Amino acid sequence: MGFTPLAGTRAPVRVWTDPYTIEAQAARQLRNIGALPWVQGVAVMPDVHFGKGATVGSVIAMRQAVSPAAVGVDIGCGMSAVRTSLTAADLPDDLGPLRSAIEAAIPVGFAMRDDAVDPRRVRGLEQGGWDEFWRRFGTLDRKVAQLETRAQRQLGTLGGGNHFVEVCLEQGGPDDGRVWLMLHSGSRNIGKELAERHMAVARGLPHNVDLPDRDLAVFLAGTPEMDAYRRDLWWAQEYARRNRAVMLALLCGVVRDEFPRVAYDEPISCHHNYVAEETYDGVEVLVTRKGAIRAGRGDLGIIPGSMGTGSYIVRGKGNLDAYCSASHGAGRRMSRGQAKRTYSTADLAAQTAGVECRKDAGVVDEIPGAYKDITQVMAQQEDLVEVVAHLKQVVCVKG
């Protein structure tokens, strides 16, 4: 399908879903965003839903300005995946021990490591730039200076919420049954700390006083506040990328211990909460993708469903109307609280049948029924991406 314009906005707001299905709170947010004087345009992905300040599933192009809320608090959150040489026939009938080995190698939830990861001791991990990366920590907002040890110990850890590690099988096609490894995580506590500090600064700036929503407060180009945010933002985005790289290397090591002859293709990695400098129609803009991936022509990306449904490896079509973007997943159709009130652990077990995963009350809010239909979401963005591989998880590790 193509896009539908959202009426009543100053800047164009293009929607890749039925506008009448967007929750009222999210629709108000989108109109508020479209009214901002710095906004060049907005692309709304089919997984759109209400978020803090800016909607999740929104791509916002701004001229000479950026809104921290349009990135979100988990700066650089995204996906990584790699295809292996294994097939379904290689996997044991009981996947419990494999799940346990993954959980032993990658701390989840609020857990952190006893000691920071030494990149030199992780097989397959990129070795370049680590010293310079950590040196730049000293240039960040001075109020986070005491968090360096925590940031180091959280590198290579999953976090909680909708973050996950999965072992998946390719569905259909010539590689039916091929094993993939996939994970979803971001910049952990340090990204959240940086984001919240800059959001507070932005809300206090004079040019943001009369905004329809103070959570949409922006920084303006050429100001010390913008320079400070961009410095911290770029670092946090790199932290998130390196965090996923560490976990993927550790995950590959777990599988290699079980299957010594395994081989791996080139990994795929993509942010879906971030800022990028891009040009459209000759205009240089800062593009914030909050719950959206870049889908430039030929770009490989990852669009997950939920802990009991399929995920997709995709290739971007470079749709300029969408600022070369696509959805970051299925998107929630109900809040975590509503999910807990609606579903039971028995429902969770039924909806995750055949998946080696947690099935307790602690993850009921992540039940597949709390998410939109990923098949429909994919159908609504056929003009944004093409499917390279359809995956279905057999192991899912949650925080």
Known catalytic residues are: 328
- What is the β-pairing status of strands 13-15 and 268-271? unpaired
256 and 82 in contact (C-beta within 8 Å)? no
Distance between CA atoms of residues 312 and 354, nearest Å: 19
Give me the half-sphere count of Cα atoms (radius 13 Å) on the Cβ side of residue 122.
24
Q: Does 165 show up as a binding residue in the annotation?
A: yes
- What is the β-pairing status of strands 325-327 and 292-294? antiparallel
Q: Does 306 show up as a binding residue in the annotation?
A: yes
Query: Smallest Cα–Cα separation from 98: which of 179, 27, 16?
Result: 179
Structure tokens at 9: 């906005």
380 and 322 in contact (C-beta within 8 Å)? no
In 3-state terms, what secondary structure has residue 60?
strand
Q: Does 287 show up as a binding residue in the annotation?
A: no
Q: Does 74 show up as a binding residue in the annotation?
A: yes
Helices 224-258 and 188-203 meet at what angle, rounded to 10?
A: 160
Q: Does 340 show up as a binding residue in the annotation?
A: no
Residues 6+ apart with CB under 8 A from 22: 15, 30, 44, 48
Q: Any alpha helices (H) in the chain, and if so which ranges?
A: 24-35, 96-105, 130-135, 148-154, 188-203, 224-258, 336-342, 345-351, 374-379
Q: Does 310 show up as a binding residue in the annotation?
A: no
Query: Smallest Cα–Cα separation from 312: which of 383, 390, 374, 372?
Result: 390
Structure tokens at 124: 């397959």
Q: Does 164 show up as a binding residue in the annotation?
A: yes
Q: Does 163 show up as a binding residue in the annotation?
A: yes
Structure tokens at 295: 């889908």
Q: Does 45 show up as a binding residue in the annotation?
A: no
Distance between CA atoms of residues 45 and 329, nearest Å: 10
Beta carbons within 10 angstroms of residue 172's beta carbon: 10
Q: Does 366 show up as a binding residue in the annotation?
A: no
Q: Does 207 show up as a binding residue in the annotation?
A: no
Q: Does 5 show up as a binding residue in the annotation?
A: no
The most distant pair of C-alpha atoms in the chain lies apart, rounded to whole Å, by: 63
Q: Does 49 show up as a binding residue in the annotation?
A: no
Chain centroid to CA 348? 23
Q: Does 8 show up as a binding residue in the annotation?
A: no
- What is the β-pairing status of strands 13-15 and 39-49? parallel
Q: Does 311 show up as a binding residue in the annotation?
A: yes
Distance between CA atoms of residues 78 and 382, nearest Å: 21
Residue ranges for the known binding site for GMP are: 162-166, 272-273, 304-307, 311, 328-331, 398
Residue ranges for the known binding site for Mn(2+) are: 74, 163, 184, 272
Residue ranges for the known binding site are: 74, 162-166, 184, 272-273, 304-307, 311, 328-331, 398
